[in-house]
Structure 1
Amino acid sequence: MLTPVRAMLLVAMSLSAASAPAAELPPEAQKQYEASVGKGIQFLAGSQAEDGSWTSQTGPAITALATEALLSHGRTPSDPVVSKALKYIVGFAKPDGGIYLEGSNHRNYETCLSVMCLTKANKDGRYDKLLAGADRFLKKLQWDGEEGHDTASMYYGGAGYGGSERPDLSNTSFLIDALKELGAGADDPAMQRALVFVSRCQNLETEYNTTEFAAKIDDGGFYYTVAAGGQSKAGDTPEGGLRSYGSMTYAGLKSMIFAGVDKDDPRVKAAYDWIQKHYTLDENPGMGAQGQFYYYQVFAKALGAIGVDKVETDGAAHDWRAELVAKLADAQRADGAWVNPNDRWLESDPNLVTAYCLMALSHVR
């Protein structure tokens, strides 16, 4: 008998397969894609620790991201590298349903990444019980009435790293990704609560966003968090506005699409307009080299989610897939790894950054 989570997963997989045609790459980009993926996978296979982990000080987090990347490029759960990694990740499962390092303040982050990995390895149902527990755990972590935050609260619907700190758009985006992989539809209450928070992190005054920051910039982009007085990693304007930046704008756009917001909705249109105005692969717009490889993977996932093949800018039509492939091919080291010279947010770690790049390339196809 199918469990409820297993049934939802099968429906989600069938819908995804039916609605996601393979992208065509130009011949040169196809060659670059195959070479980059092959070298990246070879690097991860060679950098795995004996216990199955990558960068073990992060608990299951980077290991889950690297394993998801391998699974997304055709490796199977029976592959020796993947099998060892899965065993390592499952070892972090807790009685409360979470999958995290004991004592961690990043329980949401680690559990979400683990869920996204394990759902890809669960075609035979081996992780049904574990994923059902993770589903309950993540929904309990989400800020809502149980934590004393009703819909008027700027915390409402959001998710943070998983400690006691305020929610943020990056972790709420991970939560939405995980809920989607667990089979939640757009009408799922947790998904709709998350959408409330996401909409409030957009620089756009609408019926969904009447916060003090909404009209101060009003450019349609997104920033880090509206909670706890608001924060943008790109800084503030003299008037107290929170500057929009690339990685959060793509995360916000993707999250709205996954939460069922229509492409003709003003929120989606404004976010995509910001993307057209700030389209680049030379940096994380508004942040420079900081978080640049995190930016690449959310860039690809968001543009894939909204279903555009070319991004129209002033006087140009960008084949974002081919341009991303070329950019990553140029940035890849001879050993197959990618590394960001700017080490903010752990991007000096080749395991993390190589996983990001392989995930970005998986969304190209």
Structure 2
Amino acid sequence: MPVIEEGYRYLNSCIQKNGGIYTDHSRRLIDTSSAMLALLMKPHASQEETIKNARDFIMRELEVMAGQSEGDTKMADTLGLDSGGVSQLLSMMHGLEALCFTQALYGQSHDAFLESGRESILHFLGQYQYPVSVSRNTQFAGFESMRGGFMARLPALPAPSTPSKIDKEWTLPAGSYGFAGLLSYLYMDVELSDPRVEGTQDWLIGNYTLKQNPGLGQRELFFYYLCMAKAWSAFKLTDLPDGPSSGKDWRHMLALRLMDLQQADGSWVNARDSGHALLAFEIIYSGL
């Protein structure tokens, strides 16, 4: 289709000398990861070198993010937001996802990278997760309802501070960040029985709702739906085990919610969110 070919031409025009595929420097990791997966859908020998270079770029970026090497000093602040104000947790998830889906093209390079940087990456993820055992961390004592949840930004707290001073805008757990953390653990091949994974899953199920993105209201709503579809499909979860929706099929409920929110022209809320909604539908359909 001409429109698809035009899209591929645009992606190729965004290739940078460092292997990244982006135009906005502050979003380079997320955009490169998304572009690489799009190029993967068009099997062609001419794209293999582009994808390989993009993989190398992503691995370098993740090494910097996880503290394994020095890189662009403008990449992030000390609290986990990149220079464009996007949570580094989301950037990490997108990068790991792109590496996972392209690893078969290049043998063991992905496995070797994840193995060598495993502890650093898991430590990075752990910084965004409320401790599963909050009693071990006085900073989060009394926040049992947040156990296992993921926040967008690291709390700017000195050691003696109390959780009540945490900036609620960024550092309270949210649904989309919880699923981003859960997916990151899955892409890192963390066992499903691992307390960190179980803690995340417990928080997500305990705070499950389709009316909003828990913790963020209507913000990132369709991204929340997409990450839910990805993560729970990977978990092979069918019926929700606990809470007011116990025993109900999450795919069925999410599909109905997406249909209710679709506009007459076929879009969802606004053009920027339609892509996330369509991808969520695709994942739901493939699991039926």
Percent identity between the two aligned chains: 26
- Closer/same/farther in 2, CA of residues 228 and 248 from structure 1, 3 Å limit: same
- Closer/same/farther in 2, CA of residues 134 and 213 from structure 1, 3 Å limit: farther
How many Å separate the matches in 1 of 2:239 and 2:39?
32
Q: Which residue of 2 aligns with 1:238?
A: 164
For 2:46, the aligned partner's letter is R
- Closer/same/farther in 2, CA of residues 107 and 216 from structure 1, 3 Å limit: farther
Kindly indicate whether the alpha-carbon contact (under 8 Å) linking 2:131 and 2:137 is maintained by their aligned counterparts in 1.
Answer: no
Q: Which residue of 2 aligns with 1:200?
A: 127
Aligned partner of 1:108 among 6, 29, 32: 29
**Superposition map of 1:155-304 within 5 A:** 161=82, 163=83, 168-183=88-103, 184-185=110-111, 187-190=114-117, 193-205=120-132, 213=139, 215=141, 217-218=143-144, 219-226=147-154, 237-238=163-164, 240=166, 242-304=171-233
Kindly indicate whether the alpha-carbon contact (under 8 Å) linking 2:129 and 2:148 is maintained by their aligned counterparts in 1.
Answer: yes
Unaligned runs of 5+ in 2: 72-76, 104-109
Kindly indicate whether the alpha-carbon contact (under 8 Å) linking 1:108 and 1:159 is maintained by their aligned counterparts in 2.
Answer: no
Kindly indicate whether the alpha-carbon contact (under 8 Å) linking 1:283 and 1:289 is maintained by their aligned counterparts in 2.
Answer: yes
* Cα offset, 1:145, TM superposition: 3.4
Q: Which residue of 2 aligns with 1:147?
A: 70
* Cα offset, 1:120, TM superposition: 2.4
Please list the CA deviations of residues 92-130 of structure 1 after superposition, one character each: whole Å capped at 9, or x if unmatched: 0011101111x6322112111111211222x34431100
Q: TM-score, normalised by structure 2?
A: 0.80
Kindly indicate whether the alpha-carbon contact (under 8 Å) linking 1:166 and 1:228 is maintained by their aligned counterparts in 2.
Answer: no
Q: TM-score, normalised by structure 1?
A: 0.64
Aligned partner of 1:317 among 233, 238, 247: 247
Higher share of residues assigned helix: 2
How many Å separate the matches in 1 of 2:138 and 2:88?
17
Q: Which residue of 2 aligns with 1:356?
A: 276
- Closer/same/farther in 2, CA of residues 160 and 189 from structure 1, 3 Å limit: farther
- Closer/same/farther in 2, CA of residues 212 and 254 from structure 1, 3 Å limit: farther
- Closer/same/farther in 2, CA of residues 164 and 314 from structure 1, 3 Å limit: closer
Unaligned runs of 5+ in 1: 1-78, 149-153, 231-235, 340-348
- Closer/same/farther in 2, CA of residues 223 and 216 from structure 1, 3 Å limit: farther
What is the aligned-residue RMSD (CA, Å)? 3.1
Kindly indicate whether the alpha-carbon contact (under 8 Å) linking 2:156 and 2:166 is maintained by their aligned counterparts in 1.
Answer: no
How many equivalent residue pairs?
261
Kindly indicate whether the alpha-carbon contact (under 8 Å) linking 1:203 and 1:215 is maintained by their aligned counterparts in 2.
Answer: no
Q: Which residue of 2 aligns with 1:42?
A: none
* Cα offset, 1:213, TM superposition: 4.9
How many Å separate the matches in 1 of 2:191 and 2:259?
34
How many Å separate the matches in 1 of 2:47 and 2:115?
22
